[in-house]
Amino acid sequence: MNQKRCNVFTGENAILDYLNPESQIFTPLVELPKVLNPFYDDGVRIYAKLLNTLPLTNVKSIPAFNMLKEMNRKGELNDVHTIIENSSGNTVLSLAVIGRLLGIPNTKAFVSYEVLFGKLQMLQLFGVEPLVNKEPICPDPADKTSGIYKAKKWGKRKDWINPGQYENTDNPDGHKKITGPQIFEQLNGDVQMFCAGLGTTGTMVGTADYLKGKSQKIKTLGVIRTPNNPVPGVRTRGLLKMIAFNWKNYVDFVEEVGTKDSFLESLHMIRHGIVVGPSSGFALAGLLNFLKKQKEKDLLKSFANKEGFINAVFICCDSPFPYLKDYFLYLDKSNFPEISNYEILIDKPDQNIKLPGSVNIEGYEIEPQQAFSLFYKNSKEEVEKKLNKGETEFVEKSSIIIDVRSKDEFDHFHLPDSIHVDYENFISRIKTVISSNKLVKRKVLVVCSLGLKSNTVTNILRKEKVQSFSLKGGITEWSNLDLPRWKPGTCLKNRC
């Protein structure tokens, strides 16, 4: 029996061999059907590279294995008992599993204090000890408060190791060995475009390095995150400053994508059998945006092969399952089937939530553009110009903008001229808040991250005869539309 062809792993190191990407058969490369590819009739063929089908179900297992493999080869893992890395997800959980099989019992991770609790539980599930760390929203790797700095420092302790995914060249080299050659062989070298989201940039740098080594005609598209739009695993242009790899040398084009489009494209793929997470939807959304712009400029043909076709490949990073709750947070409920007979369920997620009075959470929403016109005296350009000069007082005196997020979130960035009132305090001290801010005589815009808490507050205010509105989609959608935000110091609105 050909054990590799039959995908069989035996012996003392069977699991380690199974996790080794070089021991695996190729991960699938699947063409998207026409229903998911609006450019099919233009000769574009879009392929999903399903790195989520790797044994550890994520793209980061490739660099994690390669980094530890090379360290082990050099003897750097001898007597090591603890791995320390700055990571809140797939990289460190992959390091933990592979490291354990190499005889390293402990793995610790510096994680942002803004990390979702579900991700902390996922790290715990894989035996990683999370070390919650508070750092600036746009940290410098040399900043002693940054997780990257701390992980590097702790990695110098006796019998500790820090793989250093943000600067270790074995990160992209893993993709140069695995991902690039697989894609090239799977399409018989007929590749016109490669697309990946930019996080540590290892996937892009390593894969593009291999593909461009085969043909400089292959174009690469890097997808970055819209500021203040959460998508797991990828970064804004500002946050890419933390990365040591010179990714710009490997990227021909850059496209920016926000939260909603990422989750929506992921949802579309899931429902057609490509079961991948939001960062995969993020990459596809960036590719579709780019193709649309090229078509509008009548430039699509410039990317085609001799037969007039464009074979475009994008990376699928992991599964949707760690992010299930987020789909229902970031996408409108119209995207999901209703639950019949919900009222007779024993286990309801909202059964312990008690809101004051009868609250209609659908009422009084206002779109970001409409809110801007209604609450600000000046144009978008004038507000931004005045912000850069340090000026204030953009809102009419008869109006007020109230941000009900946490104080830390508010201090990171907020709508110009808005004030902060913590959600819990607002709910518990509603009469006092109304009185102290003279809200009955003012027009009120309530802001939160996604428009959920602001909906609740708005409806309570309406019951108290306050003319109030909830910002639809919250500050996430406001940022996605690139409307003005105030940020402290050097962290400007288009950086983070």
State whether 378 and 433 are in the same domain. Answer: yes
- Full domain range(s) for residue 460: 365-480
| Last-in-domain residue among 325, 352, 375 | 325
Measured distance CA(470)–CA(474) in Å, rounded: 8
- Per the structure block, which two tokens stand in for 411? 């201090």
Judge whether 431 lies within some domain: yes
Judge whether 350 lies within some domain: no
Judge whether 10 lies within some domain: no
Q: Each residue of 325-344: pLDDT tens digit? A: 899 888 988 999 999 988 88
Number of domains in the chain: 3
Measured distance CA(172)–CA(318) in Å, rounded: 18
Residue 491's pLDDT band (cuts 50, 70, 90) = very low
State whether 445 and 375 are in the same domain. Answer: yes
Judge whether 71 lies within some domain: yes
Judge whether 218 lies within some domain: yes
Q: What is the CATH number of the domain that holds 237?
A: 3.40.50.1100
The answer on pLDDT for 361 being more than 70 is no
State whether 67 and 27 are in the same domain. Answer: no
State whether 105 and 149 are in the same domain. Answer: yes
The answer on pLDDT for 353 being more than 50 is no
Mean pLDDT over 38-60 rounds to 97
Q: Each residue of 124-173: pLDDT tens digit? A: 999 999 999 988 766 666 788 889 999 999 999 999 999 999 999 999 99
State whether 53 and 65 are in the same domain. Answer: no
State whether 204 and 298 are in the same domain. Answer: yes
Q: What is the overall mean pLDDT for the chain?
A: 90
Q: Are 314 and 204 in contact (CB under 8 A)?
A: no
Q: Each residue of 425-448: pLDDT tens digit? A: 888 888 888 888 888 889 999 999
Q: How far is CA 228 from CA 305, 376, 410, 474, 494, in A?
A: 38, 21, 12, 11, 9
pTM comes to 0.82
Judge whether 268 lies within some domain: yes
User: Do the strands 29-31 and 44-50 form a parallel or antiparallel pair, or are they unpaired?
Assistant: antiparallel
Residue 178's pLDDT band (cuts 50, 70, 90) = very high
State whether 51 and 69 are in the same domain. Answer: no
- pLDDT value at position 44? 98
Q: What is the CATH number of the domain that holds 396?
A: 3.40.250.10
- pLDDT value at position 183? 98
Residue 351's pLDDT band (cuts 50, 70, 90) = low
Judge whether 6 lies within some domain: no
